[in-house]
Amino acid sequence: LYEVEEESRYDHVEFNQNAASVKPEEDQPTESSIDLNYLLVAAIDLGTAASGYAFSFRNDFKTNPLKISTHIWTAATTVLRSAKTPTCILFNPEGHFEAFGYEAQNNFSSLITDEENVEEWYYFENFKMSLYEIKDLNFHTEIKATNGKTLPAITVFSESIKYLKNHLTNRCLNMTCGLKDEDILWTLTVPAIWNDKAKLFMRRAAELAGIPRSQLLLALEPEAGAIFCKHIPVEVRRFDDKDEVEGFRNGSRYMVIDAGGGTVDITIHEVVDEQNIREIYAANGGPWGGNNINKAFIDFLIELFGVETFEEFQRKCVDDCIDIIREFETKKQTMKIDDSN
């Protein structure tokens, strides 16, 4: 496990005067303050387009680092099964959490039959990149729902993290008797291109979601991927007349390209020994994620049918609109570079 930001990196971070009172130096635990002897390590990936989680028990990791558990989410209206659920969240007219992911999509669709009532609800999607795009980010910053209404961004992010945290915790409790909250070390992944303000914002959102500061690590998304890739079997070697598949040899260099919904992050590492890797090139990237392809697809439909027609379709046929995007996502994931169709 690696803590990707040192405490000193937050010394210069200041939110504007409207921000909630938070002292950056107190929000980032030092390496010595983190107890790594946890029974379970849990990771939450709140993505731009989709979100999910994974977890590994300490004893399992010692014997097999690739023994990692995830959850398979299923869309109600399609055969789509995925280790991630859409990053969308629904709040009721009072601003209280209602649903997340596929459930949020389905619940919001059912509200469309009541056109007056639906305008009172808050439905957010593709909101993660707002932390990258908003220049004067603070703990009172508000973001827009699809109907133009606003809620504090910290509420939207913390409730999203809380949902994934509770879902993971409940699943682990069903697997292991006696597991306590203090037995879990939480890791939250963030894009490499985010600045310190955005990272601090995510840490605060995680705390509001119920994750104690002393049990929380932040990890850059491509860094986490690079550490995982070190353990992946990549080549076959012959030992005692037997073929064995092993990971990267010492001195091997490899590049990880994390192409997500909002960003594409790239990092390059070298394997030093069995326990360590060395960064060859600092994690970097840009806002070039797959949602740009989705936007181009929507722009094509608007050009084909006209703005008014498509907006009416989005307003009156939400189920169909959601299904179109789901099917398009499936096509994106199954497309091959040599596919002539």
pLDDT of residue 26: 46
What pLDDT score does 42 carry?
95
Q: Where are the alpha helices (DSSP H) in 6-66?
A: 24-27, 58-63
> How far is 68 from 168, CA to CA, in rounded Å?
13
Strand 97-100 to strand 88-91: parallel, antiparallel, or no bridges (unpaired)? antiparallel
Residue-level pLDDT at 168: 95
pLDDT, tens digit, for every residue of 222-255? 888 888 888 888 776 666 667 666 788 889 999 9
pLDDT of residue 45: 95
pLDDT of residue 40: 92
pLDDT at residue 10, as a whole number: 35
pLDDT of residue 226: 87
The 10s digit of each residue's pLDDT in 174-195 is 777 678 888 999 999 998 888 8
Give the distance between the most distant pair of CA atoms in the chain: 73
Residue pair 2/126 in contact (Cβ under 8 Å)? The answer is: no
Closest listed residue to residue 145, CA positions, set 130, 124, 131, 126: 124
> Residue 188's closest CA among 176, 167, 173, 205?
205
- CA-based angle 138:141:144, to the nearest 5? 150
CB–CB of 323/77 below 8 Å?
A: yes
The one-letter amino acid code at 97 reads: F
CA distance 16 to 151: 19
Residue 140, phi then psi, degrees to nearest 5: -110, 0
C-alpha angle with apex 9: 130 to 30, nearest 5 degrees? 110
Secondary structure element (H or E) that encloses residue 91, with its range? strand 88-91
DSSP alpha helix (H) spans, 112-262 = 115-118, 130-133, 153-175, 196-208, 221-229
**Vertex 71: Cα angle to 105 and 58 (nearest 5):** 145
Token digits for 164?
Answer: 């994934």
Do 26 and 191 form a contact (C-beta atoms < 8 A)?
A: no
CA 19 vs. chain centroid, Å, equals 24
Contact 196, 25 (CB under 8 A): no
pLDDT beneath 70, residues of the chain:
1-36, 76-80, 113-116, 177, 236-241, 243-245, 339-341
Nearest to 315 by CA among 18, 109, 41: 109
Residue 25, pLDDT score:
42
| pLDDT recorded at residue 1 | 33
d(CA 62, CA 58): 6
pLDDT reported for residue 12: 37
At 89 the three-state DSSP class reads strand
List the domains of the chain with CATH numbers. 7-226 (3.30.420.40), 291-334 (no CATH)
Place of tokens 């550490």: 227
